[in-house]
Amino acid sequence: MLTVDTDLTTARAVAARAAPSLAILEMPSRQGVGFVAAPHGLLVTNLHVVAGAEEIHVLLADEQLLRVEQVVALDEKRDLAVLKLPTHDVEALRFDGGASPSEGDALFILLPAGGGMLGLMETRVHAVQVLDESLTFFELEASLPEDASGSPVMDAMGALVGVATCAFADGRPVTIVIPSRYVVPLLEQPGTQPLSALAVARPAASRERQVPTHPLSLLEGCATDGVEEIALAIMEAIQLGAPAYNRGDPEACYRIYKRTTERLLLERSDCPGAQFALREGLQRCARLDSADACAWALRDTFDGLLQVIDRWLQAQAAFARISAPKTYLQ
């Protein structure tokens, strides 16, 4: 299972480095995936993979079959779990040292392919998403099967970038990567808990987004150039605001979003529907009591507009194709 987009030698080298650390988790009535992240037997997976498990056996690449009896750390917010293996004789993945991939960068996911075989899937970063002040993740172009959650994600140098996690967004499956920087503190947790700690563990619900769904009629009467300029202004604001938020400065993020909103309200009278949506976003902010909440209110407003703009532009392009005069070969 190899999608070749990068040099084949690179892909093989990544697979060779990562393969010894991959682990299959066997639990009553289900399977999961994890990987060894420290040479003294610490195994990382998604919390939702092992939550509620009363018994876990781990099959390592060297065919060791081990029973897990201890939990090192659980992170419900980021859907991560670290388990303790009863052995030190395991090979661990190399961490990335804090490097963070950008949109378009190639990544590799190591996962079981059935029949005792391993698969290496190459994909790329579709987007860097800031969920809130405590979680940034990478959305991937590829979609993995749900039972591949917990697989390691590496860069082209074979260093661990994060944990592949199957999730859902807008009713469709997506694959995201929980960055390795969130894993490191969990590996350093002192002490252990019994496996029964998983009985009550559940991944925390993510921040509830309130992205409005607009009909195409919202943009009725708008010129294509004007709509594209609105979308560009919004995307530029997000490119500036999201990193500020991720640095722990929601106030700066909110100011960037608010300035863009106010400028579009002043300049884009040629698209009253978009102005209506932006004005509703500001009105929602007026009812909130923190810069953090206001930043997310305007981000929801922006995302709702971008979604309808994307659908509207696609509809315009389709209409243009249908309306174009036909030419025939003589």
Beginning with the edge strand found earlier in the chain, give each strand of the sheet holding 193-194 in spatial order: 65-68, 56-60, 22-27, 30-38, 42-46, 80-84, 70-75, 193-194
- Chain-wide mean pLDDT for the chain? 83
pLDDT of residue 284: 93
pLDDT digits (tens, 9 = 90+) for 78-93: 999 999 998 767 788 8
Q: Please indicate whether residue 285 or residue 98 has the higher confidence score (pLDDT).
A: 285
User: For position 246, which CATH number holds?
Assistant: 1.20.120
115: left (phi over 0), alpha (psi -120 to 50) or beta: left
Residues 235 and 165 in one domain: no
**Rounded (10°) CA dihedral 272, 277, 280, 284:** -160
| pLDDT for residue 11 is more than 80 | no
CATH number of the domain to which 39 belongs: 2.40.10.120
Which of 205-214, 221-230, 273-282 has the lowest average pLDDT? Answer: 205-214
pLDDT at 297 over 80: yes
299 is in which domain, residue-wise?
216-322
Flag whether 266 is in a domain.
yes
Q: Which of the residue ranges 55-69, 174-188, 239-253, 292-306 would you say has the lowest mean pLDDT? A: 239-253
Greater confidence, 247 or 256?
A: 256
Q: Are residues 98 and 22 in the same domain?
A: yes
How many domains in the chain? 2
Asked if residue 116 and residue 225 are part of one domain, the reply reads no
Q: 157, 106 in Cβ contact below 8 A? A: no
pLDDT digit string (tens) for 23-79? 999 998 788 899 998 878 899 999 989 988 999 999 988 888 999 999 999 998 899
- For the question of whether the overall pTM of this predicted structure is more than 0.75, the answer is no
Q: Clarify whether residues 138 and 40 are in a common domain.
A: yes
Question: Distance (Å, rounded) from C-alpha 175 to C-alpha 2?
Answer: 17
The answer to whether 22 and 14 have CB atoms below 8 angstroms apart is no
